[in-house]
Structure 1
Amino acid sequence: MNDRTEAVPPSAFTPGGRHRHRKPKQLGAGARRALVLAMAVPVASAALAGPSAFAANGNTTATTPDAAPATDEDLGPADQAIAANLDTRVNDARLGGNVSGVVLDAESDSTVWDHNGATALMPASNTKLATATAALTVLGPEHRFKTKVVYGDGTLTLVGGGDRTLTTADLAEMAKDAVAGLKAAGLTTVKVAVDDSLFSDSTQANGWKPDYFPGDVAPVRALVVDGHAVNDTSIDAGQVFAKQLADAGVTVDGEVTRRTADITDVPVARHRSAPLSDIVHRMIKVSDNNIAETLLRMTALGAGQPATFEGGTAVVRDVLSRRYGVSLENFQIYDGSGLSRANRIPARTLAEILDLLTEKRYEHLLSSIRDGLPVAGEAGSTLGPEWGRFDDENSKCAVGKVHAKTGTLTGAIALSGLTVGKDGRWKVFSFVENDSTANNSAIKDAMDGLAATVNGCWA
Structure 2
Amino acid sequence: MLKRVSRRVFLGGALGGLASLSWAGAPDVSLRPRARPGGFTESSVPSVEELIRESRLSGVVTFSVIDVKSGDVLETHDGYTGQPPASVTKAVTALYALDALGPDYRFETRLLAGGEVKDGVLHGDLVLAGGGDPMLDTDQLADMAARLKAAGVREVRGKFRVWGGALPFERVIDPSQPEEVGYNPAISGLNLNYNRVHFEWKLSGGKYTVTMDARSGKYRPDVTVARMQVAARDVPVYTYADMGDHDAWTVARGALGNGGARWLPVRKPEAYAAEVFATFARSHGIKLEMGQPPERAPEGRVLVTHKSETLDEILRLMLLYSNNLTAELCGMTATARRLGKPASMKDSAEEMSRWAQTTLGMPGAKLVDHSGLGETSRLRSAALAQALAKVHKDGLLKPILKDIPMYGSNGQVNVAHPVKVVAKTGTLYFVSSLAGYLTAPDGRELAFAIFTANPELRKGFDKGSGARPEGARTWNARSKDLQQRLLERWGRVYGS
- TM-score normalized with structure 2 length: 0.69
Write the mapping of 1:100-139 to structure 2, written as runs, cut at 5 A.
100-139=62-101
**Structure 2 residue 388 is the aligned partner of structure 1 residue 350:** no
Higher relative contact order (CA 8 A, sep 6+): 1
Other-structure match for 1:293? 328
More strand by share: 2
Q: Which one of the candidate residues 430, 437, 453 is aligned to 1:434? A: 453
What is the rounded CA distance, in whole Å, between the counterparts of 1:108 and 1:194 in structure 2? 52
Q: How many residues align?
A: 385
Of the three residues 171, 178, 185, the one matched with 1:211 is: 178
1:192 to 2:167 alignment: no
Q: Superposed, which structure 2 residues align to 1:220-299 within 5 Å?
A: 220-229=187-196, 230-253=266-289, 255=290, 257-260=292-295, 263-299=298-334
Alpha-carbon distance change, 257 to 444 in structure 1, aligned in 2, over 3 angstroms: farther
**Cross-structure match for 2:104:** 142
Alpha-carbon separation, structure 2, partners of 1:323 and 1:409: 28
Contact 1:404/1:418 (8 A) holds in 2: yes
1:54-73 alignment to 2 at 5 Å? 65-69=23-27
In structure 2, what residue type is equivalent to 1:66? Answer: A
> Which of 202, 207, 219 pairs up with 2:170?
202
Label 1:451 to 1:261 Cα distance change in 2 as closer, same or farther (>3 A): same
Q: 1:108 to 1:181 in 2, by over 3 A?
A: closer
What displacement does 1:423 show? 4.2
Alignment partner of 2:110: what SS?
Answer: strand
Write 1 or 2 for the structure with the bigger share of helix.
Answer: 1
Structure 1 residues 444, 208: closer, same or farther in 2, change over 3 A? Answer: farther
Q: Please give the alpha-carbon distance, in whole angstroms, between the structure 2 residues aligned to 1:192 and 1:263.
A: 12
**Aligned residue type for 1:370:** K
CA distance in 1, matches of 2:357, 2:9: 14
Match of 2:423 in 1: 404
CA distance in 1, matches of 2:88, 2:147: 41
Q: Does 1:92 align with 2:51?
A: no
* Residues 375-414 of structure 1 mapped to structure 2, 5 A cutoff: 375-377=403-405, 390=407, 393=410, 396-397=413-414, 398=417, 401-414=420-433
Unaligned runs of 5+ in 2: 13-21, 116-123, 197-265, 458-470
Change (3 A) 1:402 1:263: closer
Q: Structure 1's 423 and 399: CA in aligned 2 closer, same or farther, altered over 3 A?
A: closer
Counterpart-to-counterpart distance in 2, 1:195 and 1:249: 23
Is 1:309–2:345 an aligned residue pair?
yes
- Give the aligned partner of residue 167 of structure 1: 137
Greater shift, 68-77 or 125-134, is seen at 68-77
- For the 8 Å contact 2:367–2:377, the answer to whether it is kept is yes
Percent identical: 23
Highest CA radius of gyration, 1 or 2? Answer: 2
Residue 240 of structure 1 deviates from its aligned partner by 1.2
- Runs of at least 5 residues in structure 1 that lack an aligned partner in the other structure: 1-9, 15-38, 48-63, 378-388
Aligned counterparts of 2:30 and 2:62: Cα–Cα separation in 1: 19
1:110 maps to a residue whose letter is: D
Whichever residue aligns with residue 141 of structure 1, its letter is P
User: What RMSD in Å do the two structures reach over aligned CA positions?
Assistant: 3.4
Q: Are the aligned partners of 1:347 and 1:432 in contact in 2 as well (CA < 8 Å)?
A: yes
In the superposition, the TM-score normalised over structure 1's length comes to: 0.74
